[in-house]
Structure 1
């Protein structure tokens, strides 16, 4: 089992479908459900866009994680703080965007989130800060789309997660599959 060290910088939740989520002292992850008290928690999808497409779809977006390093990358043009892009967990020390599908993120003592894919930022990002969408979605030299707005996952094992908790990465066995958009 390959493990990469990191840390939880901040945790956030919101009981309403607001764009940003206020930070909290702790969040509780519930197996197969998501973040207790968060509008996006549930066995079936709770993201408003996805509900319109298929309200019976399994919720592969129970937990949204963004790496703090993104904020530093954006700092010359934008001011972004933990929770402001709608993430539940802000991390540091791990490049979340390069993790393969099925990676398990061990958060704190007990919680485990399995990465299901990349977050595709919604147009509400430009209402939050004009031009931010373009900074979060770009193309590389080969014309491939690069999405920087974090990863999504499902709760495999519940537990309490707090700022300062360790983040351990467990890569899946076998051939690694790159993340797609969920």
Structure 2
């Protein structure tokens, strides 16, 4: 078995919908995000953020989610498949939630994504499967909020990404900054 970080699946959708359909490959565009995806752009594309301030920089160009989350959720009675929660890239063998801000993910032969923060899931998740939001946004033993719905990033270098591609992790210089919601 290969434990090195890999891409399990890729997804995109031109429309603002909850899930994203499976794609054979996606093209990451430098400074923009996923070609053909509703969230592609230099400024925010998420509808609620556009209403608040359409000039904000888009720190959510690419959504990555660890495929191991789906197994964890299955153990809690939920059935979630890759793309169902709206991610662009489903990973395996990479604990995305523990990466520090500024981590560079070298994906496939050319693409580079800089990690900007945690995805903060919205209440639409309850429409998908009741009770799921509580699993994706929980509390730790100290009462702090724990977000499990993946990470967001910006594209520093474009390129194609497809299932099976390797992911190389380049950590930033210390001191590391923990991820927060973006």
TM-score, length-scaled by structure 1: 0.97
Q: Deviations over 1:4-33 (max 9, x none)?
A: 940000000000000000010000000000
- Structure 2 runs not aligned, ≥5 long: none
Q: How do 1:1-182 residues align onto structure 2 when only pairs under 5 Å count?
A: 5-76=4-75, 77-182=77-182
1:5·1:169 contact (CA, 8 Å) conserved in 2? Answer: no
Provide runs of 4+ in structure 1 moved above 4 Å: none
Matches of 1:55 and 1:17 in 2, distance apart?
A: 16
Matches of 2:4 and 2:100 in 1, distance apart?
A: 16
1:100·1:171 contact (CA, 8 Å) conserved in 2? Answer: yes
Matches of 2:8 and 2:151 in 1, distance apart?
A: 16
Matches of 1:35 and 1:141 in 2, distance apart?
A: 37
Aligned residues: 179
Q: Root-mean-square deviation (CA), in Å?
A: 0.9
Per-residue deviation at 1:174?
A: 2.4
Matches of 1:52 and 1:131 in 2, distance apart?
A: 28
Matches of 1:54 and 1:123 in 2, distance apart?
A: 21
Q: Deviations over 1:19-57 (max 9, x none)?
A: 000010000000000000000000000001111111100
- Partner-residue secondary structure (3-state), 1:10: strand
- Partner-residue secondary structure (3-state), 2:5: strand
- Partner-residue secondary structure (3-state), 2:70: helix
- Structure 1 runs not aligned, ≥5 long: none
Q: Deviations over 1:124-171 (max 9, x none)?
A: 101011111001010000111000000000000000000000011110
